[in-house]
Structure 1
């Protein structure tokens, strides 16, 4: 009997010890898990703090005493013509003649892509481009507190805006040119403009093509060219009888080419000059476009007034720390 009691007691003690061991193990695992979770949270918090600190450091690393690298477009560019007029860089002299006062120190680029590439690779640079071509390689600043967008151009609150014009020598007479212009101004063509970030007309009629055969040449503004390329592709899709060649030059050549017959249709990213209209040039507004003022993403500047932009482009303001 004593032996049985001893065995029962031994068994009870063994079970008790096992239970204690399991409890200790569970408690240890729970503590370890909590410790790991705590470490993970601390790590994530540290990572987030580091990223924020890195971004703040990057902004504070910008040396605003550096000279501003001014980037402009070539003479003849419609974007340049509209920009200098809208910002006041172009002024009339005592004789009543318009004078482009862009600083001689400005670096000239012959295309929208050229401006964007230069600004993207130079943290001190400033340039201007077609709103429809804007991407995240550069940063668009607000102008007078208004962001450049299709909506702000349309409602008139963003002041740096201009027309994209189709130019012909008088009324178009070539059957393909007439049909293509009708396509551009139709609901289909205007939808393409709107989808590309430009401002097309509301309430345009549906396209009713005549399927003419033949070939024409369209040429001019490098700002209008990307939109025109898509319009041509869409038109040739609905009229396989037509062939359209696209040549990219600038707005001035676009107008003169339309007048002298080099182009059946010219492209200009500005209003026509009085002398061009007097020579017979006729403009049809294809769409509206904003002119985005762009800086390098590393530049902390977010907003410029029109007067500040003018001051930079005339050479009066030469360093970023002079912007107040």
Structure 2
């Protein structure tokens, strides 16, 4: 079902200044700058906001042409800050002032990778938890000691400020921001068009090693188990049953699963069930107990407990809020 093109687009400000990373700029543009309304994704208005309209130089001979000044941040529903090529580059004073004013207005702000350094320069991370690329955590601690640097996560939020780890974790954060604003199906549609994973939890480890060919073989076996579990979410899965499918002992399976995915088998399974339940709540009018059954929770009570832990809401309230926000009606009945 195509999204309504008459809906008011969410306004996204890409904050541009010399030194921003081209990769992060591309991620932001790919998530919010491509029109996918014909595939059911809501409309976005992405603007490149800078101190003036002069081209912003980036590494590799690239440049970014702003189409709005920093004053446009007053209209933005979300401000996204790319990472930096030189993570200690001082941001221009007008940029820092614009970020402070946006924060004072209550506008959500998200920083990808080394963009956390820009937020820290603005003082927005003082006394807050934040994450950046695993190789930069020591620099963030050293240069901004008032920031509580979390050593190992993909993304996190503290209040209305979001930060992410490096490179691919920026994609995860951007998709998560779509998910919490427009629903799991919209985020999954964008992920499919980008040929990337539709859902990785922010608490997964950001640095995962594959040191030997044996580890790669184990990763293949585990990938097959994950595919099976996703295709059969309604079935009762345990670590022992999944381990048997991978041809491993439960202890070995749990150890290898965490080494290759950054989370435990049960935490991963619950997160996938929550994501699947979100889609059913968005796209169907199935009763809550039926959604719980189809996604493997077994009971409405169990699903409600996990929704509270993952989304800080109940399944019923999630469905109501999603439909009020999007004005959508169920597709399948």
The higher-RCO structure (CA 8 Å, 6+ apart) is 1
User: Same fold per TM (> 0.5)?
Assistant: no
Larger radius of gyration: 1
Structure number with the higher strand fraction is 1
Taking structure 2 as the reference length, the TM-score comes to 0.23
TM-score (ref. length: structure 1): 0.24
